[in-house]
């Protein structure tokens, strides 16, 4: 999984991180043509059934978007890749112990996910003297999550919002940054976690070690392209107990010559529908921010 919620860092452009990053889907392929048989009198059409929201952990088909090499080549109308199954995590909340450079802090973070099969709400919050929250709301579709609004708020400051204007094919920002194109399958820094979880939960055998999972994400500062690489299964001893996990990571190059790049890592737990139970960000300075699962909460 863009840095997870953490204290303000110097004004060096930071890459997306797993806590604020994560995989995109495309439109369902066109149906096969059906031979039309003429009839003397058109038959009356039956009423369409009312759609029923999917319950938690119900698989649906989705297309994994392969992001373009450059933003200029990106297009919401690019051809859809092969379908991949999705299984959405059940509504859940996770609490994490926060460590900086392996030193535990008197603060904690919470990741929450709620959905009814049609709409979702998700949030990642840092709870301390300086509270930071990131929220995402949108729709669940056969192609994956479609965020409609993403917000970032720090204690005693106003909220910065990102609006996904799907009717215009644009993403706009309340901080007056220039709008950017709305790319197919684009996620925000919170929804990305659950898009990844749905892909991994849909068919884990599709993602052996070395598999690359590309993501286009956006936050209040920038549009980013990142690629998560699936690693090996690992057993973690966390504050909340021992869990079997799958490791994923992404690295980005230095912001300028002579500097170091950053690295984002997540460990997802199959027992918790592939929601991340550990999120670690390593800044170019070498500082690490580590969120380690401490307990499961009501959503």
List the beta bridge partners of residue 99: 104, 290
- The pLDDT of 240-244, averaged and rounded, is 97
Backbone angles phi, psi at 43, to 5 degrees: -80, 140
Q: Is 95 domain-assigned?
A: yes
Domain count, the chain: 1
Q: Say which residues have a Cβ less than 8 Å from residue 47's Cβ, sequence separation at least 6.
A: none
List the beta bridge partners of residue 61: 85
Q: What is the CA radius of gyration of the chain?
A: 20
pLDDT band at 253 (very low <50, low <70, confident <90, very high): low
Backbone angles phi, psi at 143, to 5 degrees: -90, -10
Domain extent for 172: 91-297
User: How far is 3 from 294, CA to CA, in rounded Å?
Assistant: 19
* Tens-place pLDDT, residues 119-167: 999 999 998 877 899 999 999 999 899 999 999 998 878 889 999 999 9
Query: Which of 272, 281, 285, 288 lies closest to 88 in space, CA to CA?
Result: 272
Q: Is 4 domain-assigned?
A: no
Token pair, residue 256, equals 């300028």
- CB contact at 8 A, 24 and 215: yes
Q: Is 195 domain-assigned?
A: yes
> Model-level pTM greater than 0.75?
no
Measured over all CA atoms, what is the biggest interatomic distance in the chain, rounded to whole angstroms? 79
Which residue has tokens 């929201």? 53
Q: Is 98 domain-assigned?
A: yes
The CATH number for 106's domain is: 2.40.360
* Tens-place pLDDT, residues 50-84: 333 333 343 433 433 333 333 333 344 334 455 67
């Amino acid at each position: 999984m863009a840095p997870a919620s953490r204290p303000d860092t110097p004004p060096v452009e930071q890459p997306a991180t797993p806590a604020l990053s994560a995989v995109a889907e495309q439109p369902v392929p066109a149906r096969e043509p059906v031979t039309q048989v003429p009839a003397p009198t058109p038959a009356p059409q039956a009423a369409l059934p009312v759609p029923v929201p999917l319950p938690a952990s119900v698989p649906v088909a989705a297309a994994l978007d392969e992001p373009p090499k450059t933003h200029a080549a990106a297009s919401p109308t690019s051809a859809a890749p092969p379908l991949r199954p999705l299984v959405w995590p059940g509504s859940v909340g996770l609490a994490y112990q926060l460590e900086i450079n392996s030193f535990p802090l008197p603060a904690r973070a919470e990741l929450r996910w709620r959905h009814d099969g049609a709409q979702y709400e998700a949030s990642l919050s840092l709870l301390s003297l300086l509270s930071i929250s990131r929220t995402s709301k949108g729709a669940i579709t056969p192609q994956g999550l479609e965020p409609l609004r993403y917000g970032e708020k720090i204690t005693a400051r106003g909220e910065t919002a990102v609006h996904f204007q799907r009717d215009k094919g644009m993403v706009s920002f309340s901080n007056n940054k220039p709008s950017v194109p709305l790319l197919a399958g684009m996620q925000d820094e919170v929804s990305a976690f659950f898009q990844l979880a749905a892909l991994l939960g849909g068919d884990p055998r599709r993602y052996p070690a070395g598999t690359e999972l590309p993501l286009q994400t956006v936050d209040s500062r920038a549009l980013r392209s990142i690629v998560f690489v699936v690693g090996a299964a690992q057993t973690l001893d966390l504050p909340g107990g021992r869990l079997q996990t799958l490791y994923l990571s992404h690295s980005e190059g230095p912001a300028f010559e002579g500097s170091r790049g950053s690295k984002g890592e997540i460990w997802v737990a199959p027992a918790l529908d592939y929601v991340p139970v550990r999120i670690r960000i390593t800044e170019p300075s070498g500082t690490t921010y580590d969120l380690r699962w401490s307990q499961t909460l009501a959503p």
